């Protein structure tokens, strides 16, 4: 008989919030829509990789196997099918818990989205933007840094020297800044908040963009998107610091 192998953190995983949710939903042998959303959101917050998702699917079968001892538990198979579907990685990618918002200028929607995210950031924010001249946003960046949040900024050398640019202001108060020194433009406009929320779009962080330009911002909570943008930010950060 093959010996079953468990992940190294098996004990921790069987006492995890997701494991407790599985046990709770099994009580009535049903997985409601709200319970499904909670389960998928918890899986996302745990940052479960493919191996861990496979473990939780096996764990669901293990819990169901125990319940099947009870002759009244005919509904457990329906519960099991619903749980396995909810834990499936392809379904997780389409999960309604991964939501996005779109904002447009002219108007205050775009700067409001940026400052709102800055105000809610708890640990770190990485900003990679062609130019920053809107004092409302700059004040919020500095306030975020003064709350103890780690702030890193990448910007373009040509725009850093423009009238109204706040790049030197950031440096003067201790915000970490690196500048692209090539003959080409560092033309990105994106930011990652707490390594999990991504903001991107055509919008430059300027007053003219807010007041006159037709621009856009997309904010997404998709962890896969955040990971890709974080990788690109880190690549540029260490390249430009050399």
DSSP E strands: which ranges in the chain?
Answer: 100-105, 124-129, 150-156, 176-180, 189-193, 197-200, 215-220
| Residues 29, 136 within the same domain | no
Whether 28 sits among the annotated catalytic residues: the reply is no
| Residues 123/150, Cβ–Cβ less than 8 Å | yes
Q: What is the pLDDT at residue 14? A: 54
Q: Which of 61, 93, 125 is the last residue of a domain?
A: 93
| Residues 141, 174 within the same domain | yes
Q: Which domain holds residue 121?
A: 100-241
| Residues 137, 228 within the same domain | yes
What's 199's domain CATH number? 3.30.870.10
Q: What is the pLDDT at residue 8? A: 46
Q: How many domains does the chain have?
A: 2
Q: What is the pLDDT at residue 242? A: 76
Q: Which of 31, 60, 93 is the last residue of a domain?
A: 93
- Asked, for residue 126, whether it belongs to a domain, the answer is yes
- Asked, for residue 2, whether it belongs to a domain, the answer is no
Q: Is 1 exposed, middle or buried (0-12, 13-18, 19+ CB in 10 A)?
A: exposed
Cα 41–Cα 234–Cα 165 angle in degrees, nearest 5: 105
Q: Which of 78, 93, 108 is the last residue of a domain?
A: 93
Query: Rounded to an integer, what distance in angstroms lies between the CA atom of residue 23 and that of residue 134?
Result: 51
Which of 158, 194, 221, 222 is labelled catalytic? 194
- Asked, for residue 1, whether it belongs to a domain, the answer is no
Q: What is the pLDDT at residue 51? A: 73
**Per-residue pLDDT tens digits of the chain, which is 242 residues long:** 344 444 444 444 556 777 788 888 877 777 888 888 887 787 777 777 777 777 777 778 777 777 766 655 557 777 777 777 777 644 445 445 568 999 999 999 999 999 999 999 999 999 999 989 899 999 999 999 999 999 999 998 776 666 557 888 898 999 999 998 888 889 999 999 999 999 999 999 999 999 999 999 999 999 999 999 999 999 999 998 87
Whether 74 sits among the annotated catalytic residues: the reply is no
3-class secondary-structure state, position 4:
coil
| Residues 32, 134 within the same domain | no
| Residues 135, 236 within the same domain | yes
| Residues 216, 110 within the same domain | yes
**Cα 137 from chain centre:** 21
Query: Rounded to an integer, what distance in angstroms lies between the CA atom of residue 79 and that of residue 39?
Result: 13
Q: What is the pLDDT at residue 164? A: 59
Which of 187, 224, 234, 239 is labelled catalytic? 187
| Residues 137, 231 within the same domain | yes
2 DSSP assignment: P
Q: What is the pLDDT at residue 163? A: 59
Whether 135 sits among the annotated catalytic residues: the reply is no
């Amino acid at each position: 008989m093959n010996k079953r192998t468990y992940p190294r953190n098996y004990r921790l995983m069987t006492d995890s919030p997701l494991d407790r949710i599985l046990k709770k939903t099994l009580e009535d042998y049903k997985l409601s829509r709200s319970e499904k959303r909670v389960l998928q959101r918890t899986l996302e917050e745990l940052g479960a990789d493919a191996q861990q998702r496979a473990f939780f699917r096996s764990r669901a079968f293990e819990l169901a196997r125990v319940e099947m001892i009870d002759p009244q538990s005919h509904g457990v198979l329906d519960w099991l099918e619903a749980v396995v579907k909810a834990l499936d990685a392809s379904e997780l990618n389409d999960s309604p818990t991964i939501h996005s918002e779109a904002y447009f200028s002219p108007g205050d929607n775009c700067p409001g989205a940026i400052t709102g995210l800055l105000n809610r950031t708890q640990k770190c924010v990485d900003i990679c933007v062609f130019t920053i001249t809107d004092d409302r946003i700059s004040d919020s960046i500095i306030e975020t840094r003064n709350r103890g949040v780690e702030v890193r900024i990448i910007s373009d050398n040509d725009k850093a020297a423009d009238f109204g640019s706040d790049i030197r202001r950031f440096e003067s108060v201790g915000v970490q800044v690196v500048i692209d020194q090539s003959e080409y433009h560092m033309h990105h406009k994106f930011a990652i908040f707490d390594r999990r929320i991504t903001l991107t779009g055509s919008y430059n962080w300027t007053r003219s963009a807010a007041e006159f330009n037709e621009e856009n911002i997309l904010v997404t909570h998709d962890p896969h998107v955040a990971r890709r943008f974080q990788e690109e930010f880190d690549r540029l950060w260490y390249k430009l610091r050399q």
